[in-house]
């Protein structure tokens, strides 16, 4: 697909813009067409000459445009960066249109200033330099006179033009930004995440880093060498491995998770058996005090506990040592300090009992073992919860079959999926899953696309239709040609986008990161201060109390709960969104969507079907419905205008064959068309056309008033100077529009329709749909300004559109939602993209956003409250009033419980049901 910029002449109003846009979108192969008064931007694989001819036939002038100037860009790494730059340029005065890649920008606009454009790009966080030899170029003079072809097509186009337009199909657009995936080992808390992010960010060529604690993975954007990234992580004290293949990554992650669960399970069992045994011995025998008679026994017990600590908790001590060498601290540091101090204190008492008074000779071997056991138990349960949170993405991965049935000169045979290449002819039968993306060549079938789009009903596919990998053949058989395979399929791109979104951080999660950066050092300082206070001011035995407080504070503090609070919610929320047919670009979009209070809808193709249809045919003066439809269709043969298509579609639907020849065909500029069929003179067009020929239209006054009030376009047909019929044409609401908008009203949103159509038509649609406010007559370039004005009033705006035609408004909105249908979906155009063309998806997306943000807040609140209350209680603030001082073992159990509770709460999102 190429982007073509055309300079336009002779356009003077929104009516002209719609004519040109309709002509362009009628050409097969047009992905998108953005039209203004001076320029048209077309994305297509067709030659520019074809578009120029179409515009000239519509009565206007066009030529290939030369950019006013070009800029070299740097710092753009992905589609999101390009979108940010487009958003910045949309606000620059005198910039009419632009074409942006990651490396270059072409700016169009006679009065555009390079300095202003460069400043806007720099303010967006990127760099731009004016290419040498680029100067402002004046636009050429308009053609001196209108060509006959222009005049002819202009008249016909104006005669049938109205507020109804059709939307162009989008295609799947996936950023080609360099992206590296690392599978990590050894991460235990938010502090670990900060260390790895810092290490990766320092590597040359890295633009952005997303480290996911819940999945032990990292996504790195930029052109940095994978070996350098792995080396940076290992230098930071953690393990890393480059995994680009999604199935391989999945298998390695599964094995890693299973190994962790098995290992933590046995470590927990052994440590807890030893810890409970010692605790029971103490409770039953009162043997936790050292005396001359039991010193040797306690020495053996101490060495046995040390062996248990090293075998069951060696990973804590290794992690703490690596952190110490790097001058940092993590959760491992707290566990190692807490259990290590308890064991060293106990062993020192056993070896040098006379150094301590008798009442201070209490031992804490059981605490060291119990703490190791409880934390391992918590980590095991946490790992199981992490597995559950990724189930939604795993189900997407399971959609791709392992093999495909190829048909070639050798016959029909089954081959591994990896052996499929582009261009192969593959067979699908009832019950098969589609292996790769392609186009149907022969046969027909009903395809269940619910796993990708959320649409519950199967879709009929026949020759020329697209099929997507992962969908299921409900009934039928087809032969299709493989077009996108491996990582290029729609399903693979969706999985890639979902994984990237799951690794992203919302703004609320960055608060936890800021706290995690100083959490462990602050906890160690609090523990030392509390122990010193107990040693100086506490009751006897002061040393025992001080040690208890020191150990409990170190153990009860839990940075892992803080680190898991938002990632677990994001993974579950984004995964659940994918199951509902909603693709989330990043977690920040969910937070912004949850805070929104206003939803703006484009009309054509969003609230309506974008396909004008004849809704009523009124007959007069003895003419039959068949005569009216046949005559109108005859006059409109060959026209590409949306309203003409509606007339032709009705004739086809009724089964009427259009065989009559039209003689003396003429276009009547601004009014309609005329011609002779079977010797009779016919007029087709507006009421004004007939009234100008003194044809009585009063007999249709009632129908005209009623249909006009309802927003329909009326086309009048006269035969031999007599009114024969009136056809009402509407762009009908989607079947679920009213229900979806009612759901949004229940959720408390203010609903606005923003359209370039006439006020009358817009108000009619608004009444039928249930819209609160209508802003009509707005040109595409003015929609962004409307959004900006609403934001200045304090509103948080969600814009819902087709993702391309409403690009300026989508870019300006706080949250943009792109509508899609089947394979017609621009994935990277908006923060949220709906895989099915249903407004219920908007209600589902906003409801899920609120649910996910609420879940994040619950997790963060639990983590903050746990640490805010747990640390002071462990330090002994309740002791003066209640005589309560926590045992270190209770601290270890509380720490484990905090992480488990956060993970379990996040997994509730996997069963989230949007509000109806």
* CA gap 342, 363 in Å, rounded: 8
* Range with the largest mean pLDDT of 336-350, 415-429, 551-565: 415-429
pLDDT at 519: 76
Summarised one tens digit per residue, pLDDT across range 617-648 is 999 998 998 888 888 888 887 665 667 778 88
pLDDT for 847 equals 92
Q: What are phi and psi of 440, to 5 degrees?
A: -65, 130
**How crowded is residue 402: how many other Cβ atoms within 10 Å of its Cβ?**
11
Q: Are strands 832-834 and 815-818 parallel, antiparallel or unpaired?
A: parallel
- Residue bearing the bigger pLDDT, 393 or 186: 186
pLDDT of 597 > 60? The answer is yes
Q: pLDDT tens, 122-172?
A: 877 778 888 755 443 333 333 333 333 333 333 333 333 332 222 333 333
- Flag whether pLDDT at 303 surpasses 90: yes
> How high is the pLDDT of residue 150?
34
Q: pLDDT tens-digit profile of 769-783? A: 889 998 887 766 677
pLDDT tens by residue, 16-73: 787 788 888 888 778 778 888 888 888 887 888 888 888 888 878 888 888 888 888 8
**Matching residue, tokens 């360099």:** 178
- Looking at residue 522, what is its pLDDT? 85
Instruction: Report d(CA 763, CA 774) in Å as an integer.
Output: 7
Q: What is the pLDDT of residue 143?
A: 35
Percent of the chain with pLDDT over 70: 82
Angle at 796 between CA 792 and CA 802, to 5 degrees: 105
Torsion 626-628-634-637 (CA) sign? negative
Count other C-beta atoms under 10 Å from residue 208's C-beta: 17
Question: What pLDDT shows up at residue 147?
Answer: 35
Q: Which residues of 337-372 are buried (b: 16+ CB within 10 A; e: fewer)?
A: bbbbbbbebbbebbeebeebeeebbbbbbbbbbbbb
pLDDT grade for 556, boundaries at 50, 70 and 90: confident
pTM as predicted: 0.60
pLDDT exceeds cutoff 50 at 539:
yes
User: Which segment of 150-159, 563-572, 894-903 scores lowest on mean pLDDT?
Assistant: 150-159
DSSP string over 840-907: HHHHHHHHHHHHHHHHHHHHHHHHHHHHHHHHHHHHTTTHHHH-----HHHHHHHHHHHHHHHHHHHH
pLDDT at 823: 32
The predicted structure's pLDDT at residue 140: 35
Q: Span 181-188, mean pLDDT? A: 83
pLDDT at position 609 is 77
Which tokens belong to 652? Answer: 């086809």
Asked if 346 and 359 touch (Cβ cutoff 8 Å), the reply is no
Among 163-172, 240-249, 498-507, 614-623, the least confident range: 163-172
Tens digits of residue pLDDT in 778-807: 766 677 788 888 988 999 999 887 644 566
DSSP reduced 3-state for 764: helix
Range picked from 249-258, 550-559, 727-736, 827-836 for highest mean pLDDT: 727-736
pLDDT at 307 over 80: yes
Average pLDDT, the chain: 78
User: Residue 474 gets which letter from DSSP?
Assistant: E
Beta bridge partners of 663: 676
pLDDT at position 93: 79
Q: Is residue 830 over pLDDT 80?
A: no
517 pLDDT band (50/70/90 cuts)? low
pLDDT at 252 over 50: yes
Residue-level pLDDT at 788? 85
Q: Give the model's pLDDT for residue 513.
A: 62
Q: Supply the pLDDT for residue 439.
A: 92
Residue 677: which H helix or E strand, with range? strand 672-677
DSSP 607: I
**Model confidence at 582: pLDDT above 70:** yes
CA distances from residue 668 to 142, 153, 577, 646 in whole angstroms, order as listed: 24, 10, 52, 20
Q: Which of 602, 731, 757, 814 is catalytic?
A: 602
pLDDT at 141: 36
pLDDT digits (tens, 9 = 90+) for 833-861: 887 777 888 999 899 999 988 988 888 88
Weakest-pLDDT range from 388-392, 420-424, 894-898: 388-392
For residue 734, what pLDDT is reported? 81
Looking at the DSSP assignment, which residues form a beta bridge with residue 472?
433, 448
| C-alpha angle 846-851-855 in degrees, rounded to nearest 5 | 145
Angstrom distance (rounded) from CA 175 to CA 190: 29
Residue 411 makes CB contacts below 8 A (sequence gap 6+) with none
Which residues face 725 on adjacent strands? 619, 717
pLDDT in tens, 662-702: 888 877 665 778 888 888 899 988 888 888 888 888 898 88
- Rounded CA separation 163/713 (Å): 8
**Residue 686: partners with Cβ closer than 8 Å, 6 or more residues away:** 159, 671, 672, 714, 715, 716
Q: How confident is the model at residue 827 (pLDDT cuts 50, 70, 90)?
A: very low
* Confidence (pLDDT) at 15: 66
Residue 772 falls in the annotated catalytic set? no
Predicted confidence at residue 897, as pLDDT, reads 76
Task: Give the integer Cα–Cα distance in Å for 372 and 268.
Answer: 7
528 or 345: which carries more pLDDT confidence?
528
Contacts of 405-411 spanning 24+ positions with Cβ under 8 A: 405/429, 405/432, 407/479
How many Cβ atoms sit within 10 Å of the Cβ of residue 110? 12
């Amino acid at each position: 697909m190429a982007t073509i910029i055309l300079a336009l002449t002779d356009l003077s109003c929104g009516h002209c813009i719609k004519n040109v846009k309709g002509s362009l979108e009628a050409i097969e192969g047009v992905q998108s067409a953005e039209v203004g008064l001076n320029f048209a931007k077309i994305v297509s694989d067709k030659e520019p000459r074809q578009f120029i001819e179409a515009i000239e036939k519509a009565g206007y002038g066009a030529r290939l445009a030369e950019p006013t100037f070009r800029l070299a860009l740097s710092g753009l790494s992905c589609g999101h960066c390009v979108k940010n730059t487009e958003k910045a340029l949309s606000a620059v005065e005198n910039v009419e249109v632009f074409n942006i890649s990651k490396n270059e920008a072409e700016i169009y606009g006679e009065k555009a200033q390079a300095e202003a454009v460069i400043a806007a790009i720099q303010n967006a966080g990127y760099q731009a330099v004016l290419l040498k030899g680029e100067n402002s170029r004046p636009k050429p003079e308009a053609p001196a006179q209108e060509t006959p072809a222009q005049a002819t097509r202009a008249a016909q186009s104006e005669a049938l033009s109205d507020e109804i337009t059709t939307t162009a199909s989008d295609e799947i657009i996936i950023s080609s930004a360099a992206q590296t995936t690392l599978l990590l080992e050894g991460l235990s808390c938010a502090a670990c995440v900060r260390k790895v992010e810092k290490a990766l960010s320092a590597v040359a060529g890295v633009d952005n880093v997303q480290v996911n604690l819940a999945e032990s993975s990292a996504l790195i954007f930029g052109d940095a060498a994978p070996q350098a990234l792995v080396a940076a992580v290992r230098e930071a004290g953690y393990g890393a491995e480059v995994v680009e293949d999604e199935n391989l990554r999945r298998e390695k992650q599964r094995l890693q998770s299973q190994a962790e669960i098995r290992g933590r399970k046995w470590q927990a069992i052994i440590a807890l058996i030893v810890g409970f045994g010692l605790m029971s011995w103490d409770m039953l025998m009162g043997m936790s005090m050292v005396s001359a008679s039991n010193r040797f026994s306690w020495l053996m017990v101490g060495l046995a506990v040390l062996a248990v600590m090293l075998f069951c908790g060696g990973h804590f001590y290794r992690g703490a040592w690596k952190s110490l060498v790097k001058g940092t601290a993590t959760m491992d540091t707290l566990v190692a300090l807490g259990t290590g101090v308890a064991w060293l204190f106990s062993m020192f008492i056993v070896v040098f009992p006379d150094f301590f008074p008798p009442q201070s000779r209490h031992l804490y071997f059981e605490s060291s073992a119990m703490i190791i056991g409880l934390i391992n138990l918590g980590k095991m349960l946490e790992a199981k919860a992490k597995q559950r949170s990724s189930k939604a993405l795993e189900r997407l991965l399971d959609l791709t079959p392992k093999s495909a049935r190829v048909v070639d000169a050798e016959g029909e045979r089954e081959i591994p999926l990896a052996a499929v290449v582009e261009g192969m002819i593959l067979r699908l039968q009832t019950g098969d899953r589609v292996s790769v993306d392609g186009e149907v060549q022969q046969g027909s079938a009903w395809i269940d696309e619910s796993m990708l789009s959320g649409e519950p009903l199967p879709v009929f596919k026949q020759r020329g239709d697209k099929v997507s990998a992962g969908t299921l053949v409900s009934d039928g058989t087809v032969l299709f040609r493989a077009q996108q395979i491996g990582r290029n399929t729609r399903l693979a791109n969706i999985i890639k986008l979902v994984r990237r979104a799951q690794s992203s951080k919302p703004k609320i999660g960055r608060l936890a990161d800021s706290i995690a950066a100083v959490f462990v050092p602050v906890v160690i300082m609090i523990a030392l201060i509390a122990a010193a206070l107990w040693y100086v001011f506490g009751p006897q035995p002061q040393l025992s109390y001080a040690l208890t407080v020191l150990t409990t504070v170190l153990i009860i503090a839990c940075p892992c709960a803080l680190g898991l609070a938002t990632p677990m919610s994001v993974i579950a929320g984004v995964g659940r969104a994918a199951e509902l047919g909603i693709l989330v670009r990043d977690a920040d979009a969910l937070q912004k969507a949850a805070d929104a209070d206003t939803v703006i809808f484009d009309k054509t193709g969003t609230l309506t079907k974008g396909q004008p249809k004849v809704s009523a045919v009124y007959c007069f003066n003895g003419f039959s419905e068949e005569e009216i439809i046949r005559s109108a269709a005859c006059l409109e043969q060959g026209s590409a205008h949306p309203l003409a298509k509606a007339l032709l579609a009705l004739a086809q639907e009724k089964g009427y064959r259009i065989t009559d020849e039209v003689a003396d065909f003429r276009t009547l500029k601004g009014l309609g068309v005329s011609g002779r069929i079977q010797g009779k003179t016919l007029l087709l067009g507006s009421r004004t056309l007939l009234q100008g020929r003194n044809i009585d239209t009063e007999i249709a006054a009632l129908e005209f008033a009623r249909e006009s009030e309802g927003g329909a376009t009326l086309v009048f047909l006269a035969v031999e100077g007599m009114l024969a019929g009136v056809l009402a044409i509407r762009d009908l609401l989607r079947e679920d529009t009213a229900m979806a908008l009612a759901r949004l009203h229940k959720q408390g949103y203010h609903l606005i329709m923003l359209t370039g159509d006439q006020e009358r038509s817009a108000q009619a649609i608004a009444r039928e749909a249930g819209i609160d406010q209508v802003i009509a007559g707005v040109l595409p370039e003015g929609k962004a300004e409307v959004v900006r004005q609403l934001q200045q009033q304090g509103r948080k705006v969600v814009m819902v559109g087709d993702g391309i035609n409403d690009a300026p408004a989508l870019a300006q909105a706080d949250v943009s939602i792109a509508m899609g249908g089947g394979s017609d979906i621009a994935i990277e155009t908006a923060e949220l993209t709906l895989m099915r063309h249903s407004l219920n998806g908007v209600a589902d997306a906003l409801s899920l956003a609120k649910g996910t943000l609420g879940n994040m807040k619950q997790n963060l609140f639990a983590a903050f409250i746990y640490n805010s209350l747990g640390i002071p209680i462990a330090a002994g603030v309740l002791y003066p009033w209640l005589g309560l001082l926590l045992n270190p073992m209770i601290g270890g159990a509380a720490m484990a419980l905090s992480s488990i509770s956060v993970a379990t709460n996040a997994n509730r999102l996997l069963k989230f049901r949007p509000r109806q």
